Copies of this chain bind each other. A is one copy, B any other.
Amino acid sequence: MKVKGQKRQDILKYAGILFKDKGFHNTKMDDIAVAAGVGKGTLYEYFKSKQDIFDEACIEYVELTIETIQDVSNMESTFDEKLLALFNVKVKMESEFENIIIDNVLSWKNIMSEKTVKTIIKKISEIYKLVATIIDQGKEEGVVVKNIPSEIIACSIIGTMSEYLVYNIKNKDNEIKENDLIIDLLYNGFAVK
């Protein structure tokens, strides 16, 4: 079983798209083979099983997410700018793979192998840490309160972001601007001052 190579990447890429569109059980090995432009037998040259492809595709996706957030984190920008970038990057991500993995690792535990679930949970905590890093920058810049742990703030940001995207599902293309109320809400909360 080969572990590297362009063909392997192709399979993962097209399988990922199909899993996203049709779910695990409605995606057939035939579909994947056709989409990836290889013979059905070839899938088994690169992967042990359908399960295996699914697991790898999920990990692949999470890693892509991490890279994207890493990119945001690495930007030469203020906290404010990065927060906005995070929102808008998330929009793009969501529209590519929806939230079947990140938001549902736990519901999907019966599809992913135990081992992959663990891998992904670990990777998700990386995402939290990355977002927390960005928040730490905000604290250093003096725009974020210091008395709340960054990871809890990350919770609020990621959760609000996700929910807002569902709420706004129809206007997927809309970019979030810095003066959007949802941003104001994150910064200032809803309490009357």
Binding site for B on A (CB under 8 A): 20-26, 98-100, 103-104, 106-108, 110-111, 128, 135, 138, 142-145, 147-149, 151-153, 155-156, 158-164, 166-167, 169, 181-182, 184-193
Contact = CB atoms under 8 A, between A and B. Distances in A.
B164 A159 contact: yes
The 9 closest A-B pairs by CB, nearest first: A159-B163, A189-B189, A159-B159, A187-B191, A188-B189, A25-B25, A159-B160, A187-B189, A156-B160
Contact of A167 (B108, B142, B155, B190): B155
A153 to B, nearest CB: 5
Nearest to A149: B181
Contacts of A98: 106-107
Q: Do most interface residues of chain A lie in helix, strand or loop, or is the interface mixed?
A: helix
B110 A104 contact: no
25 contacts: A21-B110, A22-B110, A99-B104, A99-B107, A100-B104, A103-B166, A138-B190, A142-B192, A143-B191, A143-B192, A144-B190, A145-B190, A145-B191, A147-B181, A148-B190, A152-B164, A152-B181, A156-B163, A159-B162, A159-B164, A160-B163, A162-B162, A186-B189, A187-B190, A187-B191
Nearest to A147: B181
Tell me which of A104, A149, A152, A162 has the highest count of chain B C-beta atoms within 10 A of its own C-beta: A152
Nearest to A25: B25
Contacts of A148: 181, 184-185, 190
A69 to B, nearest CB: 15
Contacts of A107: 20, 23, 98-100, 104
Contacts of A128: 167
A112 to B, nearest CB: 11
